[in-house]
A and B are shown apart, each in its own frame.
Chain A
Amino acid sequence: MVTEKKLIQDCQKGIKSSQYLLVKRYSGMLLTVCRRYARDESMAKDVLQESLIRIFQNIGKYQERGSFEAWMRQIAVRRSLQWLEKSSFKYEIHAEEMPDKEVTIPEIYTQLGAEEIMVLINKLPSGFRTVFNLYVVEGFSHKEIGNLLDITENTSRSQLARARKVLQQKLKNPKKNSRHEVAIIRK
């Protein structure tokens, strides 16, 4: 089993077998990141390819100060956002801030798998989904999201609030969801 450190060093030297191993080891994780932002599977795979190329181009600059996975994940997120920007996606949808309410989610939803959660999240409108992913999954602050997406902090907050609201509604009223969604969620 090649250690992560050795794998990075070999990739920095341009050893092809190690580059293949890196793709094999991490592309699944990176594809998950890309799928959360992309509109569809095809776009997610394109973004993944670009992210991997970017990783190989810049792996020489990686220093062991942080997690290698986090570094790659960051690149994948940025590439995804660039793709969304390229496809004329605009984040500037102002909305009033909606405070979180004490919402109780049925325990059954804790049984949801990652794929089911992703299906659920991907049903969110693109802007909501992006902000929700950045804030909840990646752990960015609203300021950081604002800078990443070139929107104000308030816009980021309101987008997140709306995303939560939509998700809550979907979870509360699964009947309103399509048959397929319900089947997946209740599986």
Chain B
Amino acid sequence: MKWPLFENNIKEKLSNHSSEIDIDNLWGNLESEVDAINNQKKKRRGFVWFLFGGMVAIVFGLGFFYWNADRLENVNLASSISENQEVKATRLVEKEVEIKPIERGVINSESVSHDDLNLSGSNVGSVQETVHSIVNKSVPKSGFESPRVSGINQTKESKSVISEAVPTDLNPKTSLLEESNTDEKLTDVEIVEPIETEESVAKKETQEVIKEAENSTPIVIEKEEIISPEKVDAKEDLSPPNENKEDKKKLFKFAFSAQASISFTDRKLEEKLDTFTQLRALRNVSERMLETSQLGLRITVEHTSGFDLTSGINYTQINERFRYNESVITQDSVPGIQFFVRNFQNELDTIFGNVPITKTTTFNKKYYNKYRLIEVPILLGWTKKFQKVRVGAQAGIFANISMKSVGHVLKSESEDFDVEVDEIYKTNIGLSYYFGVSAGYIFKDNFELYASPFACIFSKSFTKDTYGLSQKYRLYGVNVGVRIGF
């Protein structure tokens, strides 16, 4: 058997050979290490989800907070209106009030004089609660429509008020209000109960007042005008202006956007030591930059001032093409003329035998290298809206969560290696920087199509510290996406 055959025999036998080993003993030694690896992977995966979940929770939490803040503002507004109504009620007492049967729906502009009121400090308390309930009922959250309208007294100081909820069968005398405390606090509102002993007198006076009212020019007050909180606010000017309320309601807006981009890739390969200059040159020759694609989901919190804060999740894939010709040189022998010898007769003899030859085989190798990154953007921006067009600018950081590299690069002049096996690339490259401007067209109030030219700078090397070259990128591209406001 020839030697090469013997070597093939060795290769065949050793390649398929399996040594005996105590598996349980081996697994016993490995188990703790395997558990640690599994836990590490779970932690890494958990951290990514935690980061993403936390980010979403913060954004939605802020949204919920401001949403509720608006509602709280409305509730406070309603309370304010209620208090105003109470003040009005006491002011009425301060003047003269006459409540007519609701069906009449008119009031007397020349109201009853103070003397006409049946004032009494002794029978106040029992009716005080009724007054409050009337006032509260008169301030519904949204509008008010009472089937009945009662008359009110219109005075110089106060031109409104009312008390719709007063029962129709209420004796006018019993509705007379009295201010039990003369100071300016207007807190003790008292309503005088009818006094049995003066019943006939009061009745008479009331009839006179009604008569006068019927003869005088009536002022018809619209139900809404009387009881609508907005109207009351406008007249009394006791609540914040409407513009301010609107501002507070729209202090923050939220928008969700989805975008994609194709960008030009600028790679910067630098040697860390002079000895790697040749390797850099080799890699620059064998590798060519292709496009970089990005996909992103963003949530934006916009302030009325025009500034906004954006976060979300971003996927980036940097593509490169690696191509080189690999030459494999092999030694072989073929039968042929080994040499010539001159014999004793001075003739030339040909000696045949195996002649060594060198074979050179060239392989054209081509790989597409991919660097896949998952990032969380944190961007501060400013936008300005012009009718249907919105322009803006954004700047911030991209926090890298993970990076995966696949492909081949040259290790020496004629040898490449798999970057996954040799692990020359990092799995996390930290922070990168983003600058961009944007212009969008607003189709509807909450739907926008936009384009955003940007530059993204990866200031840290993709390669590990132990590798001889540093590899950095700059991306210049355009994001195109849709934004939905909510």
Contact = CB atoms under 8 A, between A and B. Distances in A.
B42 interface: yes
Contact of A144 (B27, B415, B421): B415
A97 to B, nearest CB: 11
A49 to B, nearest CB: 6
B339 interface: no
Interface in A62-112: 62-63, 71, 74-75, 78, 99-100, 102-107, 109-110, 112
Interface size classification for chain A = 35 or more
A20 B23 CA distance: 9
B38 interface: yes
A144 B418 CA distance: 13
Contacts of A112: 13
A90 to B, nearest CB: 20
Contact of A74 (B354, B406, B411, B421): B421
B234 interface: no
Interface in B1-25: 1-3, 6-7, 9-11, 13-21, 23
A183 interface: no
Nearest to B8: A136
Nearest to A71: B421
Interface stretch (A53-61, A123-131, A173-181): A53-61
A141 B20 CA distance: 30
Given A114-B17, A137-B14, A23 B30 contact: yes
Contact of B37 (A28, A57, A114, A118): A57
B387 interface: no
A112 B13 CA distance: 9
Interface centre among A61, A102, A115 (most CB of B within 10 A): A61
Interface in B417-437: 420-421, 423
B19 A63 contact: no
Contact of A104 (B2, B27, B406, B420): B2
B1 A109 contact: yes
A53 B27 contact: no
B406 A137 contact: no
B13 A23 contact: no
B38 A28 contact: no
A73 to B, nearest CB: 9
B348 interface: no
A154 interface: no
A21 to B, nearest CB: 10
A162 interface: no
A60 B421 CA distance: 11
A56 to B, nearest CB: 5
B254 to A, nearest CB: 36
Given A23-B30, A49-B26, A110-B9, A147 B21 contact: no
A96 to B, nearest CB: 16
A102 B26 contact: no
Nearest to A164: B3
B148 to A, nearest CB: 74
B1 A110 contact: yes
B34 A141 contact: no
Query: Secondary structure of the A side of the interface?
Result: helix
A63 B11 contact: no
B30 A117 contact: no
Contacts of A35: 19
Given A28-B18, A29-B18, A32-B18, A105 B27 contact: no
B424 to A, nearest CB: 13
Interface in A28-46: 28-29, 31-32, 35-36, 45
Nearest to B353: A102
Contact of B3 (A74, A105, A114): A105
Given A104-B2, A144-B415, A147-B415, A16 B14 contact: no
B41 interface: yes
B464 to A, nearest CB: 15
B217 interface: no
Nearest to B35: A16
B225 to A, nearest CB: 71
A49 B2 contact: no
A14 B6 contact: no
B315 to A, nearest CB: 18
B202 to A, nearest CB: 91
B19 A23 contact: no
Contact of A143 (B13, B35, B415, B423): B415
Given A49-B30, A52-B30, A36 B14 contact: yes
Contact of A63 (B9, B29, B420): B420
A105 B1 contact: yes
B103 interface: no
B408 to A, nearest CB: 11
Nearest to A50: B33
Interface string B177-221: 000000000000000000000000000000000000000000000
A115 B19 CA distance: 8
Interface string B335-374: 0000000000000000000101000000000000000000
B27 A14 contact: no
Interface string A1-31: 0000000000000101001100110011101
Interface of A: 14, 16, 19-20, 23-24, 27-29, 31-32, 35-36, 45, 48-49, 52-53, 56-58, 60-63, 71, 74-75, 78, 99-100, 102-107, 109-110, 112-115, 117-118, 121, 136-137, 139, 141, 143-144, 147, 164, 168
Given A48-B26, A136-B11, 13 more contacts: A14-B37, A28-B21, A32-B14, A32-B18, A52-B30, A56-B37, A58-B421, A99-B356, A102-B354, A105-B6, A112-B13, A117-B10, A143-B415
22 contacts: A23-B23, A27-B23, A29-B18, A35-B19, A49-B30, A53-B33, A53-B34, A56-B33, A57-B37, A58-B423, A61-B404, A61-B420, A63-B420, A100-B3, A104-B2, A105-B3, A105-B6, A110-B6, A117-B10, A136-B10, A164-B3, A168-B3
